[in-house]
């Protein structure tokens, strides 16, 4: 579609603005709602308990998968082992999930949540089976998914300033990327300690560290494949529509042309570059990755193209 035919490049609003369908529920609300509903069924009514509320149905383990219960790779993310476990994961999900949905979109939120949870569970079960010989203890909770969301958000907004409350009293400001790295380092230390000194760790510290690390790795990898945190990784085509591979190559060429020809653009003498293929590709990039993915040169080119279209339209409407 030519740039001049796109309504959002003009000051004139479209005649039929798009609206969200009635009854549309964001993916974040659905995830929070399901986790909360399952918790109420589990602890409030005991419907999902096997022997007691602290051994919920839906947990995943090698033994469960061996019986063909493959759905537990998904259901385990929505059940929790205690009130504290539920509250901590829900609180983290509340702050991280909203931001990921706003910045990445609902589809990416769901994919990061599920992929992080599945890979985190697989890594934790593999370690338990080969190192500890444990194939029956069920894994429950959304912790791996939460770590995936955290790392994805940290890749996108590494310099975002947050404040941690040490012992819920002492405020400690730090960058989001710094906090994400610190949490991952803590997980690594305790994960290694759990392998080398399994009897030294108290029961309260024997948690699914490898699931957290697996989820974090997926969140980081997912955000990097989308092009955030530096140059897009070579695996980006796996997460894009069928035409994304061709468009990625085209966008690389556009980026090079923009840097070379930007000096030729002026508001008094617009060039074909500002209204043809280059800007059209940039608009496709916004549709695929969001406006935050544009470089300064691409933003400048888009502004100049918009000025050209407005100037052209005002000239065409001027009485003669």
In this predicted model, what pLDDT tens digit does every residue of 168-220 receive, in sequence order? 566 778 889 999 999 999 999 999 988 888 777 776 677 889 999 999 999 99
Question: pLDDT for 285-315, tens place per residue?
Answer: 776 666 667 777 777 777 777 777 666 656 5
Judging by DSSP bridges, how do beta strands 161-166 and 170-175 pair with one another?
A: antiparallel
Contact by Cβ (8 Å): 264, 308: no
How far is Cα 28 from Cα 285, in angstroms, rounded to an integer?
Answer: 25
Q: Which of 127, 119, 140, 123 lies closest to 56, judged by CA?
A: 140
CA separation for the pair 267, 150 (Å, rounded): 43
Tell whether pTM > 0.85: no
Is residue 287 within 8 Å of 294, Cβ to Cβ? no
∠ CA 24-142-233, rounded to 5°: 80
**Local confidence band at 14 (pLDDT 50, 70, 90 cut-offs):** very low
Mean pLDDT of the chain: 76
Extended strands (E) in 114-237: 161-166, 170-175
Average pLDDT on 7-19 reads: 44
* Helical pair 106-127 and 143-156, crossing angle rounded to 10 deg: 130
**91, HSE (Cβ side, Cα atoms, 13 Å):** 6
């Amino acid at each position: 579609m030519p740039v001049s035919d796109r309504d959002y490049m003009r000051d004139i609003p479209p005649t039929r603005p798009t609206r969200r369908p009635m009854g549309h529920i964001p993916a974040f609300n659905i995830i929070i709602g399901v986790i909360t509903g399952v918790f109420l069924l589990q602890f409030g009514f005991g419907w999902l308990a096997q022997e007691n509320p602290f051994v919920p149905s839906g947990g995943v383990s090698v033994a469960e998968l061996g019986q063909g219960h493959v759905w537990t790779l998904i259901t385990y993310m929505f059940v929790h082992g205690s009130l504290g476990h539920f509250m901590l994961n829900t609180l983290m999900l509340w702050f991280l999930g909203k931001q990921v949905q706003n910045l990445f979109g609902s589809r990416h939120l769901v994919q990061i949540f599920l992929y992080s949870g599945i890979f985190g569970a697989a890594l934790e079960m593999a370690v338990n089976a080969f190192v500890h010989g444990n194939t029956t203890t069920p894994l429950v909770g959304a912790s791996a998914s939460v770590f995936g969301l955290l790392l994805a958000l940290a890749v996108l907004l590494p310099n975002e300033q947050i404040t941690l409350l040490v012992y819920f009293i002492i405020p400690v400001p730090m960058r989001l990327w710094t906090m994400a790295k610190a949490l991952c380092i803590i997980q690594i230390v305790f994960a290694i300690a759990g392998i080398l000194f399994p009897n030294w760790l108290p029961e309260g510290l024997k948690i699914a560290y490898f699931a957290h690390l697996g989820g974090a790795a997926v969140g980081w990898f997912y955000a990097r494949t989308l092009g955030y945190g530096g140059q897009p990784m070579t695996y980006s085509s796996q997460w894009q529509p069928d035409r994304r591979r061709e468009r990625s190559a085209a966008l690389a060429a556009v980026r090079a042309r923009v840097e070379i020809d930007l000096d030729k653009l002026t508001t008094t003498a617009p060039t074909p570059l500002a209204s043809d293929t280059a800007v059209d590709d940039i608009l496709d990039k916004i549709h695929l990755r969001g406006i935050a993915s544009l470089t300064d040169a691409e933003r400048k080119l888009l502004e100049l193209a918009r000025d050209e279209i407005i100037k052209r339209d005002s000239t065409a409407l001027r009485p003669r």
